[in-house]
Amino acid sequence: MSRYEQPDYTVLSSGPDYEIRHYEPYLAAETEVPGDFDATGNIAFRRLAGFIFGRNSTGVKMNMTVPVTRQETDAGSYRYRFVMESAYSESELPRPTDESVSIVRIPGGYYAARRYRGRRNESAYRRVEATLIAALSRDGVPIAGAPFSAVYDGPLTPPMLRHNEVLVSVEWPGSDSSPDR
């Protein structure tokens, strides 16, 4: 278990290829960076870290949380998100002073997740993404959104100890719908 706060979820089903989770709604700081998978991370991290480390309307420094997520957009860019601490309500959360950072409410929903260790480069992500999508297809689980990566450890963590995931919104029996993240 991580020493950092993360969104609340319940595991509904678990198997060798993935687990199905139900996430509760949460707030996130978000930025979008044009470019490719491996080149956009440092820019996004600086923007989002700046916000939580005091570049905001009140100058307050917030705690780091996990995961940091990255999702490809249709516009040839990547959307990155930092989860906000649950101690902040939407009205209490400071506003970003960087116009490229916004606060978004992530609705609760159902997600399939596949964990992996090692490097967080595009080839590792794409390999795990393909395995997850194939397993969901095999099992007849309808996909309801675009996949995204979730990173739980910092760059100083040795690759073999890193906790990374690929997640994708899914339709799950008993759910009304599964919003895309």
How much is the pLDDT for 176? 59
Choose the final residue of a domain: 87, 106, 125.
106
Q: What is the 3-state secondary structure (H, E, C) of the chain?
A: CCCCECCCEEEEEECCCCEEEEECCEEEEEEEEECCCCCCHHHHHHHHHHHHCCCECCCCCCCCECCEEEEECCCCEEEEEEECCCCCCCCCCCCECCCCCEEEEECCEEEEEEEECCCCCHHHHHHHHHHHHHHHHHHCCCECCCCEEEECCCCCCCHHHCCEEEEEEECCCCCCCCCCC
- Residue 72 inside a domain? The answer is yes
How much is the pLDDT for 159? 86
- Tell whether 114 and 181 lie within a shared domain: yes
Supply the range of the domain harboring residue 120: 107-181
- Tell whether 96 and 116 lie within a shared domain: no
Choose the final residue of a domain: 90, 106, 122.
106
pTM of the model: 0.92
What's the CATH number where 100 sits? Answer: 3.20.80.10
How much is the pLDDT for 2? 60
Per-residue pLDDT of the chain (181 residues; tens, 9 = 90+): 568 999 999 999 999 999 999 999 999 999 999 999 989 999 999 999 999 999 999 999 999 999 999 999 998 999 999 999 999 999 999 999 999 999 999 999 999 999 999 988 999 999 999 999 999 999 999 999 999 999 999 888 998 999 999 999 999 987 654 444 4
Domain total in the chain? 2
